[in-house]
Chains A and B, each alone.
Chain A
């Protein structure tokens, strides 16, 4: 669950840990969204959505500021187009 302490913790995370946090929180938000599609009035689902989507926004903000853009809408350029500077998601493990 998101809390102020967790927010401070995020600030100090390395790239990989923060990406793991984003992936698991993003997944939680996806799950709850899909649940809400068929249960749009469920107070539990709505409440969980609020909590996790807030946590996700916070984590993504920190990640993009420190490690580079995740979407084309938050690219902070420093003389060149940062969107294409970081590796693509499949370029891992096998040294692709």
Chain B
């Protein structure tokens, strides 16, 4: 788009972008027509009414909509309030992992590094900064910040290498967010969408300061 302050043109572009996103990612999940999405507003993200409980519209392909077992859209909620009126347990001090030190050499500190890190013959950096590779390791690790990246060859094969172009192995973990493809570009903060879950009974919820069991993180700190 050329430099322009033409409001209608700008709105049109935003609207078209959003419509594409909605038809590709969101509207496929609902039976509703998306006539609302055609409104030339800056708020297209969820107007079509198909962000089910807690699901973001940026979900990558293959993510199931956020329907919990026992919950039918439009039906009675899976509320099941009750259970003990307590927050998350305190637990002990966490196991402090050595930050980012995963046994390999740290990124960025190596002298004479070429920008491409010496990629294997015939391989080049993949477009984009993330991969769609699925990690079977669901744990959250801090080790995945080693600067890994996807590379591909001319035949479309891709593989993951470390920041020096070496094949990934051992404790290099995939960032779980990578599994969501391009949904989470860098230079931005993301809080996960809350999913509808178990509630406390009102009296207990008031006592706890939230009715949502998922959001109840109690304070356990002590100091002599």
Question: Chain A interface (Cβ within 8 Å of chain B)?
Answer: 1, 20-21, 23-25, 27-28, 31-32, 35, 38-45, 47-48, 52
Would A43 and B211 be within 8 Å (CB), given that A24-B203, A25-B202 are in contact? no
Q: Is the CB of B77 within 8 A of A28?
A: no
Would A31 and B78 be within 8 Å (CB), given that A42-B196, A48-B199 are in contact? no
Would A35 and B74 be within 8 Å (CB), given that A40-B46, A48-B199 are in contact? no
Q: Is the CB of B206 within 8 A of A44?
A: no
Q: Which residues of A contact B147 (CB under 8 A)?
A: none
Q: Is the CB of A45 within 8 A of B203?
A: no
Q: How far is the CB of A34 from chain B (nearest CB, A)?
A: 10
Q: Which residues of A contact B75 (CB under 8 A)?
A: 43
Q: Which residues of B contact A48 (CB under 8 A)?
A: 77, 79, 199
Complex CA–CA separation, A52 to B205 (angstroms):
13
Q: Is the CB of B211 within 8 A of A28?
A: yes
Chain B interface residue number, banded: 20 to 34
A-B contact pairs, 20 of them (CB 8 A): A21-B202, A24-B202, A24-B205, A25-B202, A28-B202, A28-B205, A28-B206, A35-B194, A35-B212, A39-B51, A39-B54, A39-B193, A39-B196, A40-B46, A40-B51, A44-B77, A45-B53, A45-B77, A48-B199, A52-B202
Question: Chain B interface (Cβ within 8 Å of chain A)?
Answer: 46, 49-54, 71, 73-79, 81, 193-194, 196, 199, 202-203, 205-206, 210-212
Q: Number of contacts between A and B (CB, 8 Å)? A: 67
Q: Is the CB of A44 within 8 A of B205?
A: no
Q: How far is the CB of A83 from chain B (nearest CB, A)?
A: 25
Q: Which residues of B contact A32 (CB under 8 A)?
A: 211
Q: How far is the CB of B214 from chain A (nearest CB, A)?
A: 11
Closest to B76 in A: A47
Complex CA–CA separation, A35 to B215 (angstroms):
12
Q: Is the CB of A41 within 8 A of B54?
A: no
Would A27 and B53 be within 8 Å (CB), given that A41-B46, A44-B79, A44-B196 are in contact? no
Q: How far is the CB of B203 from chain A (nearest CB, A)?
A: 5
Would A41 and B79 be within 8 Å (CB), given that A27-B205, A31-B205 are in contact? no
Q: How far is the CB of A84 from chain B (nearest CB, A)?
A: 27
Q: Is the CB of B206 within 8 A of A23?
A: yes
Q: Is the CB of B206 within 8 A of A27?
A: yes
Q: Which residues of A contact B74 (CB under 8 A)?
A: 43
Complex CA–CA separation, A38 to B52 (angstroms):
11
Q: Which residues of A contact B52 (CB under 8 A)?
A: 41-43
Q: Which residues of A contact B51 (CB under 8 A)?
A: 39-42
Complex CA–CA separation, A41 to B37 (angstroms):
14
Complex CA–CA separation, A44 to B196 (angstroms):
7
Q: Which residues of B contact A20 (CB under 8 A)?
A: 203
Q: Is the CB of B53 within 8 A of A44?
A: yes
Q: Which residues of A contact B46 (CB under 8 A)?
A: 40-41
Closest to B68 in A: A44
Q: Is the CB of B212 within 8 A of A31?
A: yes
Closest to A52 in B: B202
Q: Which residues of B contact A35 (CB under 8 A)?
A: 194, 196, 212
